[in-house]
Amino acid sequence: MEQQDFSAKDSLQLIESMISKAQNRFNENGHLYLLWGWVILVCSITSFISVYFFSNYKNLMYVWMLTIPTVIYQMIYLARVKKSTAVQTYTDEINSKVWMVFVIMGFLVGIIIGRSGQPQLFNPLILALYGMPTFLSGVILKFVPLRIGAVSCWVLALVSVFIPYQFSFLLLAIAVITTWIVPGYLLRSRFKTQQG
Amino acid sequence: MFKDLDPILHSQLRLAVMSLLIGVKEAEFTFIKEKTGSTAGNLSVQISKLKDAGYVEVIKQFKDNYPQTICKITPAGINAFETYVKALQTYLPK
């Protein structure tokens, strides 16, 4: 592969084939979508049962503490993935930044809602916010199920302000199924197909 | 009017390496080797030439106690690549 006398047409063909080899890689295996999907599903259903059947609002925060070990696991997992990945595309980088923005926004919304004394607004706002990274990931990864999931999130966010607060936890559960769990399994099967 | 082609880039393997790196943030040596189908020795020599020209940055580090080489294109490399592609276009029939 060292000869100098190749034509302009050969050069362009080589450039084109190499660019497509690098960019057609699909690094998303859906693991974190599934992890977060199931964690939030468990948290939201437990919250609904606690609030609806036992009128227990005080212990809600303990259920959501399940997200702390999940974050720790995610950090370890991402560090390992970064080490074992042979190539990092701009797509991977942008996608991870989109989710980082969501985490920051979610954190800020949590604090703002906490200070505002209107906790019932938390679920509708989180649902609305949830749709943003999901939709953008769907665009970046060229993956339609994520975009459909994002739209369902926005619809559920709108519905959640018209129903009693307790039921918004059920909407959150539906949202994680449509935005994370279903696309997560589809991403996993797409990744396995590519690997196989 | 034919423009001169950058001799550093007008070599199949070096051009293949640059074309791979132009589309990604960074890539490991093993990834480049696999995609270009070259031998480790030849690839190493060609990457050194690209590094000497300032077109590629080479980062050597350890991953699980094994040496790992990561390559990324530099701004000078991006410029050279763009100039090369523009020059190539003057050779194509209009």
- Compare all CA atoms of chain A with the CA of B28 and give the residue at the minimum distance: A86
- pLDDT level of residue A165 (50, 70, 90 thresholds): confident
What is the predicted pLDDT for the residue at B71?
A: 95
Whole-angstrom distance, CA of residue A112 vs CA of residue A124: 14
Nearest CA in chain B to A18: B20
Q: What is the ipTM of this complex?
A: 0.81
State mean pLDDT over A32-53: 92
CB contact under 8 Å between B12 and A19, yes or no, is no
Per-chain mean pLDDT for chain A:
87
pLDDT of residue A25: 64
Dist. CA B92–CA A3, nearest whole Å: 20
Tell me, yes or no, if A24 comes closer than 8 A to chain B by beta carbon.
no
Chain A segment 81-100 residues within 8 A of B by beta carbon are: 83, 85-90, 92-93
Looking at residue A86, its pLDDT comes to: 79
pLDDT of residue A4: 52
- How much is the average pLDDT of A114-143? 89
pLDDT at B41: 94
pLDDT at position A2: 47
Which of B4, B7, B9 lies closest to B73, judged by CA?
B9
- Confidence check: pLDDT of B40 > 70: yes
CA B84/CA B77 separation, integer angstroms? 10
The fraction of chain A above a pLDDT of 90, given in percent, is: 43
Distances (CA, A) of A42 to A70, B16, B73: 12, 49, 45
Name all domains of chain B by residue range, CATH numbers in brackets: 12-86 (1.10.10.10)
Confidence band, pLDDT 50/70/90 cuts, at residue A196: low
Find chain B residues with C-beta within 8 A of A93's C-beta: 25
Query: In the prediction, which pLDDT does B51 show?
Result: 96
Give the pLDDT confidence score for residue B65 in this predicted structure. Answer: 79
Q: Residue A125: is its pLDDT beyond 80?
A: yes
Contact at CB, A19 and B10, closer than 8 angstroms: no
**In the prediction, which pLDDT does A142 show?**
84
Q: What is the pLDDT of residue A26?
A: 63
Q: Is the pLDDT of residue A69 over 90?
A: yes
**Average pLDDT of the segment spanning A5-27:** 78
Radius of gyration of chain B (CA): 14
Question: Running DSSP on this structure, what letter comes out for residue B4?
Answer: P
